[in-house]
Amino acid sequence: MTGFFNRIIPNVMDKLPDFFEAIRDTLIMVGWSGIIAFVLGLFLGIVITVTKPGGILENKVLYQILDKLINFFRSIPFIILLTWVIPISRAIMGTAINVEGAIVPLIMGTVPFFSRQVESALAETDHGLIEAALSMGSGPLEIIFRVYLRESVSAIARGTTITAISLVGLTAMAGAVGSGGLGDFAIRYGHDRNMTDVTWVTVITVFILVSIIQLLGNLVVKKSRH
């Protein structure tokens, strides 16, 4: 078995510890920045939904600021963002390289995108439900948790899946500035040293990761539908 792998993917077998570390790094980056971006994005998505004109906590100023801010951050190419946030990364994480250094730019690159995903998921909630909840004396927090979020589980799950997968893509790009992970692994060996087998194995590994995320997402969507 090992002989077979040594023959077809010699370079990968040669750097097996590096490869496994790259997988671990990618999972750590996706996991941590994913969880934090999920919380922040969900929060922002909710705030922008309820402060919108006609929303349950309408607030024109706050809405306009958030709306423009999200658009602004979405306009920054990720590779530029990576270098721009280096000082912030240093301040928060104590370093701007390695996995730790990648978390901050990954979060900042993901949150604006995810908050728009949440916004569009919540926008699918029938306004009649909000009206009914108001007529029953529900307060804003109750409406957010018991109506908006509860009724949007499957739509939010869809948005989360899309975001998580695009986050996997971003971690690969973060590899370019020395964050480690699969992207870094593929660039360093597969691309720079022309080890094609490394590139292919990396792509297949990411493919498996993407497939698992999509599968989990679909499962949640299916479970939450009636």
Binding site for other proteins (CB under 8 A): 126, 128-129, 131-139, 142, 146-147, 150-151, 153, 224, 226
Distance CA 203, CA 69 (A): 34
CA distances from 96 to 26, 111, 120, 191, 204 (A): 16, 19, 33, 23, 28
* Residue closer to other proteins, measured from CB, 13 or 221: 221
- CB neighbours of 178 closer than 8 A, spacing ≥ 6? 97, 98, 101, 184
Q: Which is nearer to other proteins, 158 or 188 (CB)?
A: 158
Which residues contact residue 76 at a Cβ distance below 8 angstroms, ignoring those fewer than 6 apart?
Answer: 84
Nearest distance in Å: CB 148, other proteins: 11
CB of 226 to other proteins, least distance (A): 4
Which of 150, 222 has the CB closer to other proteins?
150
Between 64 and 211, CB nearer to other proteins: 64
CB 76 within 8 Å of CB 69: no
**Residue 19 identity (one-letter amino acid):** F
Supply the minimum distance, in Å, between the C-beta of residue 133 and other proteins.
Answer: 8
**Does an H or E element contain 16, and which?**
helix 16-51
C-alpha–C-alpha distance, residues 151 and 169, integer Å: 29
CB of 122 to other proteins, least distance (A): 14
Q: Smallest distance from the beta carbon of 162 to other proteins, in angstroms?
A: 21
Give whichever of 53 and 77 is closer to other proteins, judged by the CB atom: 53
